[in-house]
Each structure stands twice: as structure tokens, then as C-alpha cells.
Amino acid sequence: MPTFAYNELFAFTERVFQAIGCPEADATLATETLLAADLRGVDSHGVARLVGYVRLWEAGRINAAPRVAVSYETPSTAVVDGDGGLGLVVGPRAMRVAIEKAQQVGTGWVSVKNSNHFGIAGYHAMLALAHDMIGVAMTNASPLVAPTYSLDRLLGTNPIAVAVPAGEQPDFVLDMATTTAANGKLEIAQRKGLPLPEGWAQTADGRPSTDANAVKDGGALLPLGGATGSHKGYGLGAVVDIFSAVLSGANYGPWVPPFVAFLQPSANPVGQGLGHFFGAMRVDAFRPADEFKAHMDNWITTFRQAHAVEGKQVLIPGDPERDTAAHRLLDGIPLLDAVVQDLQGVGVKFGVKL
């Protein structure tokens, strides 16, 4: 599998975003947001998705130069209108609104409408860490998930991320889909010609499937929790959909626009674009930040030192991604051949060499 230096991929991706009309600052921000996924090992949400963003732009479904603006607010809350922009740009800007409100009144909560796919949720939540804040990020997504007992696809993978600052220990960063697996992992399995683990998907008639093409063929992804606990994942995904879209005025449930450009959005939308939800909580609104972070260090150390089953280690959310980022910054980011070919095709289109 070929590898590429982070700086090499950054320069390429930034130039592609500029080529579709993104202002320089937006292109840089979009690239940083997108490549955060590749660095952290979430390969399904990184540059592998660049071609998809370009196709959405070509289809007139992404505004490359949006005027992202607050459309309604109180001292601690806001609704942000993304103006049809890249979620990679809209998301960080909306999170900064939440952070600014938290700086003023202790907490900030922002629901977003009229946006698009925003990369990994963890990137946005982690923006709060530098301010000694706890960050929260959620987004709804294309309806590929069947609620418990449903044959209909009504929810997206609808991830939740929470980032908590620590002191001497690395920060706590939870970033998870509310499905058993994110759709991007199915795409990777398709590219590699591999079967899916049991519990990831079902066929169009509701039977369990290990076929990586099951969702493409009319089936659905399954909520987190598996055969006996999927109602829990369904509930979490529903909360994300409500906070991200019903609250903001974005599309929700089956009306969320698809990420793939060859599928058309609903002819009768209930809102505007795709929705996100962000939160920022100033730690010192609860207790002194240094005191809190010292206790987070103790919490993390206690869990790390838990007795583990043979051959395993108890991890803290964020550990695998942090280790992957450290290695990839040194050794490069591996890309599947199919992804490289897609990127090279985009490069030819815009005169940008990978």
C-alpha cells in the first residue's frame, strides 16, 4: 500500500479545494479538517472522501464560498446557517461560536442547518481542548441505518464525539458512530473485497448479512448494540438526529441528503441541508481547571492500570487514534490503490499533481 507524507497530501488537497472555488482560508481549514481523519486512522473519512466532495460541488450541491452566519442566538445558544458550504468549513466555524459563547457565559450550544458532511466528529470536539473546555460534536448523516425491527432506512451513522482535557495525561477523546460500524468501513471492505463482521448490516428483507454490498443492494446498516441491544444505538442515533436537525431546521431522518452525488436529495425536504450540533463547556464553570485536570489524570491512570485479560490492555478513548497520528506523521499516511487512483483522477481534472 503506497504511503504519502502528511504535507504532500495537505498541499494536494488544499489546491483541489481552491480549484473548486474555496477561498484560501476555507481551503486550508477544509484540508486540515479532512486530513485529521487520515492522521487519526479514520481512513474512511479522510482524503478517500475528497472525490465525493468534488462530485457534490459539480452537482451544484456544495457552495464552495459560503457565508456562514448565526441566524438566531441567545447568550449561550445559537443556530448557524452553513449556506450550503462544506461541512469541513461550516463545522469548525460553528464550534468556534460555541467556544466563544462558553468563554462569555460558561457554556455554548450551537445547532447547525444547511451544511454538508463534516469529516470526523472528533476533530470538532477537540477544538475546545485548547481553551480548557469540554467539547461535544454530533452530526446527522445520509439515511443508511434501519432502526430496531425496521426494514426502512431512517437514520444515518450519526456520530457522537466528546473531548475532555487532562493535565499530564493525554486528553480523553471519544469519537464513535451510533451504528455498529460507520458506512466508510463498508466502503473499505468493498474496495478490499472483504466480508463484513456479523452484526454490521442486514439485507433488504431484514436478514443479517456479511456482504459488503448489502447496503448498496437495498439493505441497511444496523444500530450499535447488535441483536440484543440495538435499541440503545437506535436511541442514541435518534438523539443526534433531533439535536442536529429538528433543533436547527436541517433535514432529518429519511430526508437527510445523500453524500453520493448520483443520488438526488428528497424532492420534498423538511429542512435545509444536513445538520450538526456542537457544545463547549468551560471547565472552570464547574471547578478550577487545574483541579479538574489533575483528577482527570487520576481517572485516566486508574483505568489504564486496570487488570486486563491476557494479551490485552485497557485503553482510554483516543489512545489508538493518538498513536496512529504519531506514527503517520513520521512514516506517512497509507492509501489504498483505489483511493490513489481516484485522487490522481481529480488531480488531472484540476491540474494538480499528487
Residue 22 has pLDDT above 90, yes or no: yes
Phi, psi of 36 (to 5 degrees): -60, -35
At position 239, the amino acid (one-letter code) is V
pLDDT tens figures, 136-175: 999 999 999 999 999 999 999 999 999 999 999 999 999 9
Domain parsing of the chain, residue ranges: 1-64+327-353, 66-178+222-317, 181-214
Mean pLDDT of 305-328: 96
What's the pTM value of the predicted model, to 2 decimals? 0.95
- Which CATH number is associated with domain 1-64+327-353? 1.10.1530.10
**Looking at 149-230, which runs of residues are DSSP E strands?**
160-164, 172-176, 201-202, 208-209, 220-221
The pLDDT value recorded for residue 69 is 98
pLDDT in tens, 181-197: 877 778 788 888 899 99
CATH 3.30.470.20 for domain 181-214? no
Q: What is the mean pLDDT of the chain?
A: 96
Which 8-state DSSP code applies to residue 180?
A: S
Set of cell numbers at residue 11: 498541499
pLDDT given for residue 226 in this prediction: 82
Phi, psi of 31 (to 5 degrees): -65, -45
**How far out from the chain centre does Cα 103 lie?**
25
As a whole number of angstroms, the distance between CA 274 and CA 134 comes to 24
Rounded Cα gap, residues 205 and 196, in angstroms: 18
> Strand 107-115 and strand 77-81: pairing?
parallel
Q: What is the pLDDT of residues 235-263, one digit of tens each?
A: 999 999 999 999 999 999 999 999 988 98
pLDDT tens, residue by residue, 39-95: 999 998 999 999 999 999 999 999 999 999 999 999 999 999 999 999 999 999 999
- Give CATH for domain 66-178+222-317: 3.30.1370.60
Domains 66-178+222-317 and 181-214 share a fold: no
**Which amino acid is residue 181, in one-letter code?**
A
